[in-house]
Structure 1
């Protein structure tokens, strides 16, 4: 089994796609007006409008954001990214903080309220894990 993508459902797909393009520095590939993807190396971030949920059946989840899932990106300098992210959103959940497991972490939210973590390994163990 191989995890290939993460799909985010949104009420405003144009706003969400634009946000992710700016946040991760990639250009989305639009397939329909309700579906786009950003390929980030080993995983793809798919973004679909709430209208796409109807294709999966009735009573599917709504797009209220998640506080129990965090979308994580390994970045080379989390403090530098923080300065850039502050120009994209004011919804910073946690400024850069060094975590007990050795990553320096920045948490912020996308337009739908989903948590995003940009992190940089800083301890020797964390650096080895991600090298």
Structure 2
């Protein structure tokens, strides 16, 4: 089994696409006004409008802007540089400035426009660096 994507359901696809393009410095592929993807070397972040819920059984399947248990994580080469690059853009969205976690990653935590938690992290301890050896 291989995790290939995470999909965010939102009431404002354009806003989230713009946000994640700024954060990731990647260009989204906008398949329709209601569905876009940002592809990284290891997985895809999909963004779908509430209108796409009809294909999964209706509006009750998922609710936009109500996540309180998932953190969307991106490994970056240098979280301090990303923090400097994004500070003005993120403004009041930052939950935690770059901080080294007990498991060895330095993490920047913030919220996207729908309130989803996003973590940019860089492995900094020898153990954490080893964990990611050989991966993109």
- Matched with 2:14 is 14
> Which stretch of the first structure deviates more once superposed, 22-31 or 61-70?
61-70
What is the number of equivalent residue pairs in this alignment? 131
Q: How far does residue 76 in structure 1 lie from its aligned partner after superposition? A: 0.9
> Which stretch of the first structure deviates more once superposed, 44-53 or 63-72?
63-72
Name the TM-score, length of structure 1 as normaliser.
0.95
Give the whole-Å Cα distance in 2 for the aligned partners of 1:74 and 1:64.
24
> Which stretch of the first structure deviates more once superposed, 65-74 or 103-112?
65-74
Tell me which protein shows more helix as a share of its residues: 2
Q: How far does residue 61 in structure 1 lie from its aligned partner after superposition? A: 1.5
Q: After the TM superposition, which residues 106-117 of structure 1 pair with which residues of structure 2 at under 5 Å, given as runs?
A: 106-117=108-119
Name structure 1 gaps, 5 residues minimum: none
- Is 1:73 aligned with 2:74? yes
Give the match's secondary structure for 2:113. Answer: coil
- Matched with 1:39 is 39
Summarize the Cα distance change of 1:35–1:43 in structure 2 as closer, same or farther, 3 Å threshold. Answer: same
Q: Is the 8 A contact 1:105 1:117 kept in 2?
A: yes
C-alpha offsets along residues 93-120 of structure 1, whole Å, 9 cap, x if unaligned?
1110011111100001111111110001
Q: How far does residue 39 in structure 1 lie from its aligned partner after superposition? A: 0.6
C-alpha offsets along residues 60-106 of structure 1, whole Å, 9 cap, x if unaligned?
12102422111111111111111122122220011100111111000
Give the match's secondary structure for 1:100. Answer: coil
Give the match's secondary structure for 1:51. Answer: helix
Give the whole-Å Cα distance in 1 for the aligned partners of 2:81 and 2:8.
26
